[in-house]
Amino acid sequence: MRGPMKLINSNSGEMECRICGSQYWACIRPGGGYHPCSWQCPNGKCSTNRRQWYAARQRFVKPNWRALL
Ligand SMILES: [Zn+2]
């Protein structure tokens, strides 16, 4: 799994966030398959998008969505 989104309808490409539960349609590439952004939650208020300062690496990081489940 590449992100918090899970496919709930492979025919329509409908996806649901495991963390906040928001649903949307995946961006499907013209040649078929899902765009990498499809696996990231589009909800800006979702906790998977909350960046935190990670002092050890001196940069902002997104939380590991697996840890939020
Ligand atoms: Zn979400």
For residue range 5-32, list pLDDT tens digits in order. 999 998 889 999 999 999 999 988 888 8
d(CA 26, CA 38): 5
Distance from the alpha carbon of residue 3 to the mean position of ligand 1, in angstroms: 10
**Domain, as residue range, for 43:** 5-68
Residue 49: is it exposed, middle or buried by C-beta count within 10 angstroms (0-12/13-18/19+)? middle
Burial letters 10-37, b for 16+ CB under 10 A, else e: eeeeebbbbbeeeeeebeeeeeeebeee
Distance from the alpha carbon of residue 22 to the mean position of ligand 1, in angstroms: 6
Q: Identify the pLDDT of residue 15.
A: 96
Indicate the length of the chain as a whole number.
Answer: 69
Distance from the alpha carbon of residue 36 to the mean position of ligand 1, in angstroms: 15
Distance from the alpha carbon of residue 43 to the mean position of ligand 1, in angstroms: 5
Structural contact between residues 38 and 12, judged by C-beta atoms closer than 8 angstroms = no
Distance from the alpha carbon of residue 4 to the mean position of ligand 1, in angstroms: 7
Q: For the chain, what is the domain count?
A: 1
Q: Identify the pLDDT of residue 29.
A: 85
